[in-house]
Structure 1
Amino acid sequence: METQKIGFRVDLSQANWFKSSRSGPNCDNCVEVAFVPGAIGVRDSKNPTGPALLFTPEEWDAFVGGAKDGEFDLH
């Protein structure tokens, strides 16, 4: 699967996808992440042949940092 983000293309056909270690073995609402050169892919674990979101390393770092800082917590 080749996916395109504005400005670059990424081949995800050989990507090594994984779920969070916090996902349970019977959890059916998970996302999977793949780190490939120049990008991070995110997809729905229930639909592995479906579309994937692409993020630059900088975008991914900003997202992870925000999650760690509680920016996305519901108040």
Structure 2
Amino acid sequence: MTEAQDDKVDAQVEDVKARKERERDELYALDISGVEWHCAPGTEKHEERVEIAYLPGGAVAMRSSLDPDTVLRYTEAEWRAFVLGARDGEFDLEPAPHNGGVSAE
């Protein structure tokens, strides 16, 4: 790769980083005090559970029912990648036969 090509790639990487930082800042600037929190069907209010809220632009907020003041926020692209990865077994504790995962022993 030439130096000019390297510079172009570096500029593109910096543009992506700046865009992602702006997206994150905008996401965390949102007032989410009135959002509706959802949890998995069949869970009770007193049970420990993960809760999510749908935000504008396809973004999602996530929190633990045990610590509702700590809220993580994900862009639509981040949430989509997580959900697809979870569906594919990327986060399974034990590797599923279909994903070729390696046990974390």
Class of the TM-score when normalised by the shorter of the 2 chains: 0.7 to 0.9
Q: Deviations over 1:4-63 (max 9, x none)?
A: x73312211111101111x42266220110001032100111233x12000001100100
Query: Which is further off, 38-47 or 65-74?
Result: 38-47
Pair member with larger Rg:
2
- For the aligned residues, what is the CA RMSD? 1.9
Give TM-score, length-normalised by structure 1: 0.77
Following superposition of structure 1 onto structure 2, how do residues 1-75 of structure 1 map, counting pairs within 5 Å? 6-8=24-26, 9-21=29-41, 23-25=42-44, 28-38=47-57, 39-48=59-68, 50-75=69-94
* Alignment gaps of 5+ in structure 1: none
Identity of aligned residues (%): 39
Give TM-score, length-normalised by structure 2: 0.57
Q: Which has the higher strand share?
A: 1
* Alignment gaps of 5+ in structure 2: 1-22, 95-105
Tell me the matched-pair count.
69
